[in-house]
Amino acid sequence: MKLKGMPKTGGRVKGTQNKTTTELKEIINSFVSNNLENLQSDFDRLMPAKRFEVLDKMLRYVLPNKVEQTGENGKELFSDLSDEEIQKQYEEARRILDE
């Protein structure tokens, strides 16, 4: 235990990732890279509402925590939309991303 006011000695340098965490990230990255076509195909077969649910969960890992996950009314985004409205939103987002 480090005493207050004493300099840190030994151990990992601040910010150094745990070896297991680094290896696990490499395994997951490799899996996703090697299965990208299958993952995209599976994603495309989902119902529009489920696509947004999956997308919402994935974005939590790549966007900063400060990004609002709810609408102005405090409800989850897209919770009041029909499948048809969600499909339109999805298609518009895909069009913008593909530009």
Under the banding of pLDDT at 50, 70 and 90, the label for residue 86 is: confident
- pLDDT tens-place string over residues 8-48: 677 777 777 788 888 988 998 899 899 999 999 999 999 98
> What is the per-residue pLDDT for 34?
93
Query: Which pLDDT does position 70 carry in this prediction?
Result: 65
Quote the pTM value.
0.45
**Distance in angstroms (rounded) separating the CA atoms of residues 43 and 45:** 5
Nearest C-alpha neighbor of 40 from the set 57, 54, 27: 54
pLDDT tens by residue, 48-80? 889 988 888 888 777 766 555 666 666 666 667
pLDDT higher for 98 or 66? 98
Residues 68, 76, 95, 64: is their CA dihedral positive or negative? positive
Q: According to the model, what pLDDT value does residue 64 have? A: 67
